[in-house]
Amino acid sequence: MIRTALAGRAFCAVAVCSALAAPSAVAAPDSVPAPPQGCTPTPLAAAAASGSTVCVHRLLVTETTNTEEQNHTTFTVTDHVSTLTATVPNWWPSGGPVAGMVITMWGHTENGVFKVDRWIDLTDVSAGRVPEHRMVWIATYVFLLDPQNGGDGDIHAQTANGCPGAGVTTETTPPLRGYVDHPALPGLKSSTDRTDEPSNHMADAPPAGVPVMILGATRYDYGFGWWELHPIRAWRFLTSAELKALQAECAANPVPELDRSGPAPVPFGFPPCTDGSEFGNAPGYVPCKPQCYVSHTAIGQLEQLSGPCTGITPVLTPSQEPLSTTGASSTPSHPPPSSGGRHEGGAGSGHPGAGEKQWGVTLTHVYGHDCRRLRDPHGRRGRAFRLCVLAMARLAGGETHSPRFACRHEPRHRPARRRGHRYRGSYYVRCVAAGRQLLHRLSHHRVSED
């Protein structure tokens, strides 16, 4: 996790997103959805006795227990014939389900305990039909994709909204490779292979520069002291109505709110505390305080909360079985007409749509000074300038460490000189120089995931 949100602002925006994607009454399906790829269904009664990895399809989670925060989640499932108690031992990559979910799970029995390697939600999450307060949708723009090659295998999809200025780290994880619910992207595929580099699974992550709705589980990272969406379980393009609602929110609060405590103002915060697991006990950092978490859920009951939960109201846990679908998505498979698409230069490559302009406000506030030498001869922020601020964002976010690579789409011709300025070199040369200066400035502030 290398970046975070201004947590208050980012998750205030979530309330709007929850309203945009609010669940609706859906009739129970007439047929059981087909098992997902890689699943040869095993009866639940037989799964408990299997020492090898098996897949059990379409189970209702009836109860969950977390005796400690971010620890093994123990939960009970049923197929309405048999029941089984299972646990998620490797908690961090996927977390555990909550009561009411309808899931498919892969796992094996070890010492009398069924240990879950992967689970996916069968509700049509791409349509936003999930109960509120369980997982959250955020309507946002991704401005860089950062696959953690050589690290833990996650893909960071770093988001930022231009106004109000807010961003949050959202991440795909290896257990969900190939199972993230999303529209098809031409030329991009993701297998279920968990052994190769995450850069081979970019289809699981939402594209940069396009307005999207991302669904993920909120969790607190004690290594960096921030909230994030981890893992991403679904993403989809915004509808035109949702894009208008997001733009209306921006118009109501047009002033970017940036964190200025670090070497450059950013729409996401620098780590305020740490448990020492990510970058040691660095000077000036204090241990992160405990957070409120859900310790128990059961269908038809109020959730039980533990930790410092003053001001947080428990919610009733409904069953999602009536929401389960055959998996056919009813959401847009293409971006709304007013947004930019994925193209060679990525977001900001010279043809920004209305959506890109909104989040481009934030990039300009953050990196505009670095790219001041790439304004056109009349002092305007043209194509070269927009390409430059995107290149700076990718360098600062760790997507690449090469200024030459980040600036590769810049024009190679030398622009006319601006009156009163002695800038030399092509737009490309100026961008590379700006990138080197940015990396030098941030060299003592970067934290990375390994």
Higher pLDDT, 31 or 393: 393
CA triplet 238, 240, 245: central angle to 5 degrees? Answer: 85
**Mean pLDDT, residues 6-21 taken together:** 33
Q: Tell me what pLDDT residue 386 has.
A: 87
- Give the span between the Cα atoms of 288 and 224, in whole angstroms: 8
- Max avg pLDDT among 236-240, 271-275, 310-314: 310-314
**Amino acid identity, position 111:** N
Sign of the Cα torsion 233, 239, 244, 245 reads negative
For 445, residues 6+ apart whose C-beta sits below 8 A from its C-beta are: 262, 263, 270
Residues 6+ apart with CB under 8 A from 440: none
CB 101 within 8 A of CB 121: yes
What pLDDT does 385 receive? 92
Q: What is the pLDDT of residue 253?
A: 76
Helices of type H across 230-353: 240-252
Strand (E) positions, 3-135? 54-65, 73-78, 83-88, 102-110, 113-121
Radius of gyration for the chain, computed over Cα atoms and rounded to the nearest angstrom: 23
Q: Which residue has the higher pLDDT, 344 or 150?
A: 150
Rounded Cα distance between 440 and 436, Å, is: 6
Looking at the predicted structure, is the pLDDT value of residue 343 above 60?
no
CA distance 15 to 160: 16
Counting DSSP H helices and E strands in the chain, the numbers are: 8, 12
Query: For 291-319, what is the mean pLDDT?
Result: 89
- The residues, ordered by sequence, that sit 6+ positions from 428 with a Cβ below 8 Å of its Cβ are 407, 408, 410, 411, 412
Which SS3 state, helix, strand or coil, does residue 203 take? helix
CA distance 304 to 301: 9
Instruction: Tell me, rounded to whole angstroms, the distance of Cα 391 from its chain centroid.
Output: 20
Question: Who wins on pLDDT, 381 or 53?
Answer: 53
Per-residue pLDDT band at 423 (split at 50, 70, 90): low
User: Where is pLDDT greater, at 379 or 195?
Assistant: 195
Give yes or no for residue 27 having a pLDDT over 60: no
**Highest mean pLDDT: which of 107-116, 327-336, 350-359, 372-381?**
107-116
State residue 20's pLDDT score: 31
* Over residues 83-91, mean pLDDT: 90
For residue 325, pLDDT over 60 is answered with no
Nearest CA among 99, 11, 69 for reference residue 309: 69
Q: Looking at residues 349-364, what average pLDDT do you find?
A: 48
Altogether, the residues listed in the chain come to a count of 450
Map out the domains of the chain with their CATH numbers: 7-25+125-290 (2.40.50.140), 44-121 (2.40.50.430), 368-442 (no CATH)
**Cβ atoms 365, 165 nearer than 8 A:** yes
Say what the pLDDT of residue 104 is. 94
> In the predicted model, is pLDDT for residue 449 greater than 50?
no
**Does the N-terminal peptide bond of residue 186 adopt cis geometry, omega within 30 degrees of 0?**
no
Q: pLDDT by residue (tens digit) across 56-71?
A: 999 999 999 988 888 7
**Is the bond preceding residue 164 a cis peptide, omega within 30 degrees?**
yes
Residue 18 clears pLDDT 50, i.e. is over it: no
Instruction: Inform me whether the pLDDT recorded for 28 exceeds 50.
Output: no
Identity of the residue numbered 284:
G
Confidence category of residue 361, pLDDT binned at 50, 70, 90: low
Give the pLDDT of residue 32. Answer: 65
Summarised one tens digit per residue, pLDDT across range 216-228 is 888 888 887 878 8
Q: What are the tens digits of pLDDT across the range 391-416?
A: 887 776 555 778 998 899 899 988 77
Confidence of residue 46 (pLDDT cuts 50, 70, 90): very high
User: Does residue 189 contact residue 200 with C-beta atoms inside 8 Å?
Assistant: no
Helix (H) / strand (E) element for 159: namely strand 155-159
Per-residue confidence band for 257, with pLDDT thresholds at 50, 70 and 90: low
- Given a cut of 60, is residue 327 above it in pLDDT? no
- 76, two tokens: 């009970």
Does 73 have pLDDT greater than 50? Answer: yes
Residue 292: DSSP 8-state = -
Calculate the average pLDDT of the chain: 75
Q: Which of the two residues, 128 and 50, has the higher pLDDT score?
A: 50
Beta bridge partners of 159: 142
Six-digit token string for 441: 């400035």
Please give the Cα distance from 181 to 127 (Å, whole number): 10
Dihedrals φ, ψ of 286, to 5°? Answer: -120, 160
Tell me the percentage of the chain whose pLDDT exceeds 70: 70
Q: What is the pLDDT of residue 23?
A: 32
pLDDT at site 328: 39
22 or 288: which carries more pLDDT confidence?
Answer: 288
pLDDT at 56: 96
pLDDT in tens, 89-123: 878 888 888 899 899 999 999 998 999 999 998 87
